[in-house]
Amino acid sequence: MRLRSLAAAAAVPVLIALSGCGQLPGATAEAHPPVRPDQILDFHTLYNQNCQSCHGTGGQNGPAMDLANPEYLAMTDDATLRRIIDNGMPGTQMPAWAKSAGGMLTDQQIDAIIAGMRKEWAQPDVLVGATPPPLEQPTGGNAQHGQQAYQTHCASCHAGHQRQELTSPVYLSLVSDNALRSIIVAGRPDIGQPDWRHDASKGAPATPLTPQEVTDIVTYLGSLRNPSAVSATPIPLSPRR
């Protein structure tokens, strides 16, 4: 009887020590289960895992539109951002990300990405006093007028290797008309591309492009697109984590 009492007394400190650690051996996974991918709502985590490879670190200097451009964000409402993220952009490598469209992100995660973009990169007063052309490319542009406007406002910088050769059929096969228009209107400050208010004519004063000029330039560039190019019909990329 005395030996049994001594054994029980010796076991008490061990149990106290184990309970003081807050867990027993093998209990870690149950006490702190891993977070499911669809439960992640942190903006930086979601952006780095799903957006950074195309839109760049911190929303800049990627092959796709710089999302950290405050002018682009001021011109694009949440509903448009959600539509693009949900369903992708036809004619580009931007895939659909919403689960309802075959992607990997929940509605709550897409909301978190949009809210994070606004919080991190938006500047509400960036367009004060300015009325930018719409970002949606309308139909009915004039390619001939667009060629003339391109030569006046764009060609001096987009020739040779200074910037992207916009008239390259290969490049044009990778970018949609709406994407071209967004870059022309909102600019890309991360790579020195001015917005619609500052043309690229060397030695000339800045002359804002009119909405019709933007439409005609995009129409002209679209007419140069090579439909038989290998990359003319991009295969949508599956969202990855």
d(CA 109, CA 98): 9
Domain shared by 42 and 106, yes or no: yes
Q: Is residue 9 part of a domain?
A: no
DSSP code per residue over 11-67: HHHHHHHHHHTT--TT-HHHHSPPPPGGG---HHHHHHHHTHHHH-GGG-SSSS--T
d(CA 138, CA 134): 9
Domain shared by 50 and 108, yes or no: yes
Q: How many angstroms from the chain centroid is the CA of residue 134?
A: 19
pLDDT averaged over every residue in the chain: 83
Mean pLDDT for the stretch of residues 19-27:
51
Q: Is residue 27 part of a domain?
A: no
Domain shared by 50 and 95, yes or no: yes
pLDDT tens-digit series, residues 134-170:
999 999 999 999 999 999 988 888 876 666 788 888 8
Per-residue confidence band for 203, with pLDDT thresholds at 50, 70 and 90: low
**How far is CA 181 from each of CA 98, 201, 206, 222, rounded to the nearest angstrom?**
25, 19, 19, 11
Q: Is residue 44 part of a domain?
A: yes
Beta bridge partners of 188: 193
What pTM did the predictor assign?
A: 0.77
Backbone angles phi, psi at 105, to 5 degrees: -105, 145
For residue 187, the domain's CATH number is: 1.10.760
Q: What range defines the domain where residue 189 resides?
A: 143-223
d(CA 154, CA 207): 12
Q: Is residue 70 part of a domain?
A: yes
pLDDT at 65: 92
Domain shared by 147 and 109, yes or no: no
d(CA 64, CA 93): 9
CB 194 within 8 A of CB 184: no
pLDDT at 23: 52
Domain shared by 116 and 149, yes or no: no
Domain endpoint, select from 121, 151, 168: 121
For residue 44, the domain's CATH number is: 1.10.760.10
pLDDT at 72: 96
pLDDT beyond 70 at 216: yes
Residues in Cβ contact with 157 at an 8 Å cutoff, skipping those fewer than 6 apart: 163, 200, 202
Domain shared by 59 and 110, yes or no: yes
Q: Is residue 4 part of a domain?
A: no
Mean pLDDT for the stretch of residues 191-207:
73
pLDDT beyond 50 at 232: no
**Counted domains in the chain:** 2
Domain shared by 117 and 147, yes or no: no
